[in-house]
Amino acid sequence: MPPTVYDPPTLESGTLRVIPLGGLGEIGRNMTVFESEGKLLIVDCGVLFPEEHQPGVDLILPDFEPIKGRLDDVVGLVLTHGHEDHIGAVPYLLKLKSDIPLIGSQLTLALVEAKLKEHRIKAYTLTVAEGETEQLGPFDLEFIAVNHSIPDALAVAIHTSGGTALATGDFKMDQLPLDGRLTDLRAFARLGERGVDLFLVDSTNADVPGFTPLERAIGPVLDQVIAKAPRRVIVASFSSHVHRVQQVIDAAAANGRRVAFLGRSMVRNMTIAADLGYLTVPDGVLIDYKKAKDLPDDRIVYMSTGSQGEPMAVLSRMANMDHAIEVGIGDTVILASSLIPGNENAVYRVIDGLTKLGANVVHKGNAKVHVSGHAAAGELLYCYNILQPRNVLPVHGEYRHLTANAKLAQATGIPPERTILAENGTVIDLKDGTAAVVGQLDLGFVYVDGSTVGEITDADLKDRRILGEEGFISVIVVVDSATGRIITGPEIHARGFAEHDNVFEAVKPKIAAALTEAAQSGVRDPHALSQVVRRTIGHWVNQSLRRRPMIVPLVIEA
């Protein structure tokens, strides 16, 4: 049931307003707006990837409508890390106002700038690191190191006249991280002592008990799988998962194999990571994929995109035999990533397709080839006890994740009324240490479909689903404009039906009779007559063929 929409009151001085525009009730589209003293600060601006019931959609953006008229008030956009669900929508926001300052770590901004270059946008950027502070208008920002599945992730503490909010971004508490960069719990403790009024905390694994396994545990497994592989090895992962790519490179080098990157985003991101020193590549290990085919099959590892079953990504094209690399018997495919909710069917189709081609498919379900980048319940409990926040706003997760996170907060002594289960568009005001819901905005999905942004509606997607599932019928009738008498037709054509068009001969007399009756009643308007045709054939198709196709009637006056 959709939330009740109501406008918030005018924001008072000395109050911090928080409005999540994405990331609540979903895994993606992370974007939160903070308002204080007439100025806006945005934290993250990500995309959501479409599901099967959204055919033809490339990306889904946050709804920028609440801030479109106030872009001059935006003092900056803080990016917590470089994953698509946190940075993917930045180009679309900057197309509305290109000089919004971007604030983030070195790697995060490098990944964003490469993305913006493809959109021909030159951004204003400010590089920050853990332990640093910056002032943007009425917002005093403090940046804190957090550990995640991509290097250089940051949490941000936002100090304002209305109170202090801490946004974790995505994080976990790996105690032996590959890059030695721990989540800075000492900084969390110092913040806790000063007082955190609102804690916006990653909820993705809140319903997973215990602690997220160590990233280091993956390396030996990858090494064993690659060592035993008789032919080629293809590893699929997120194109920004630098740590996982590093482990694949290390395992390949240890087994005398070379590595070729596949997929434009993989090549781009790993080139950036290597240039900045976040990815260490031994001399002679990397090879261009076009030259890799000249190597013996047991001397190559392909590092590709497509771990989520994306139709146009490398792995899906391999499974569909639509890629230059033809997967066959003896090849090993490793899916080194978790399943994003909603992608399960697509991923399993890819696994089945690769298995049918003869590949040995290794994935999280049958080997320890991936660990999550998000804190599990045990780690979140530590955070609550260290910070002792006055109010909690679970973010980044589907509703079950947000609920589980709220229960963890309450288990540590935070009152239920101080634990806010919000939705996208919920307006929360923080003042004098108390956070309260004061409004609910009406937000929608903004679909990117090819070169169009925001033009496709839910009604269009419904039409696409009907076309794909039930077929299409067109009916053309020419009538006399004066008498309403049928001159030609009805002519019926169908697509997506197993039956031949002659099956519709039975309904043509019914359509003619309905139009004659309408004409005798004085109906002459072509649109009204079209609706008569639609109802008549729709009822017949439903009763006779048990189908509910898209029906496009066309009544022409002559």
Please give the model's pTM, rounded to 2 decimal places: 0.83
Q: Are 72 and 366 in contact (CB under 8 A)?
A: no
Tokens of 342: 């909603």
Q: Are 119 and 142 in contact (CB under 8 A)?
A: no
Nearest-angstrom CA–CA distance, 377 and 19: 25
Residues 192-232 have pLDDT tens digits of: 999 999 999 999 999 999 999 999 989 899 999 999 999 99
Q: Is 249 exposed, middle or buried (0-12, 13-18, 19+ CB in 10 A)?
A: buried
* Count of residues making up the chain: 558
Please report how many Cα atoms fall inside a 13 Å half-sphere around the Cα of residue 508, on the Cβ side.
Answer: 14
pLDDT band at residue 367, thresholds of 50, 70 and 90? Answer: confident
Tokens of 58: 């490339």
Helices 526-545 and 508-520 meet at what angle, rounded to 10? 150
> Is it the case that residue 342 has pLDDT exceeding 70?
no
pLDDT value of position 518: 79
> Is it the case that residue 486 has pLDDT exceeding 80?
no
pLDDT band at residue 548, thresholds of 50, 70 and 90? Answer: confident
Nearest-angstrom CA–CA distance, 429 and 8: 9
C-alpha gyration radius of the chain: 28
Q: What is the largest CA-CA distance in the chain?
A: 86
Q: Tokens 């709804």 sit at which residue?
A: 63
Residues 489-531 have pLDDT tens digits of: 778 887 776 566 677 777 788 888 787 787 777 777 778 888 8
The set of residues, in sequence order, having a beta carbon less than 8 Å from that of 223 and lying 6+ positions away, is 250, 251, 254, 255
Q: Tokens 């990306």 sit at which residue?
A: 59
Residues 233-259 have pLDDT tens digits of: 999 888 888 999 999 999 999 999 999
Residue 152: how many other CB atoms lie within 10 Å:
26
Query: Which residue in 427, 419, 426, 424 sits closest to 17, CA to CA?
Result: 427
pLDDT value of position 363: 84
Across 343-354, average pLDDT: 80
Per the prediction, the chain carries an average pLDDT of: 88
Q: Which one has a higher pLDDT value, 393 or 304?
A: 393
Nearest-angstrom CA–CA distance, 171 and 80: 10
Across 171-186, average pLDDT: 94
Which of 229-233, 424-428, 539-543 has the least mean pLDDT?
A: 539-543
The set of residues, in sequence order, having a beta carbon less than 8 Å from that of 366 and lying 6+ positions away, is none
Q: Which amino acid is at 355?
A: T
If you ran DSSP here, which 8-state letter would residue 73 be given? G
Residues 285-312 have pLDDT tens digits of: 999 988 988 899 999 999 988 656 565 5
Domains and their CATH numbers in the chain: 17-210+372-450 (3.60.15.10), 215-362 (3.40.50.10710), 458-557 (3.10.20.580)
Q: How far is CA 41 from CA 83, 86, 102, 320, in A?
A: 20, 15, 11, 45
Q: How far is CA 12 from CA 7, 8, 293, 433, in A?
A: 15, 11, 65, 15
Q: Which one has a higher pLDDT value, 213 or 341?
A: 213
Q: Where are the alpha helices (DSSP H) in 134-229?
A: 185-194, 218-228
Query: Which residue in 121, 129, 116 sits closest to 88, CA to CA?
Result: 116
Q: How far is CA 202 from CA 27, 166, 337, in A?
A: 11, 11, 19
Helix or strand or coil: residue 554? Answer: strand
Residue 505: how many other CB atoms lie within 10 Å:
9
Query: Which residue in 64, 34, 67 sits closest to 139, CA to CA?
Result: 34
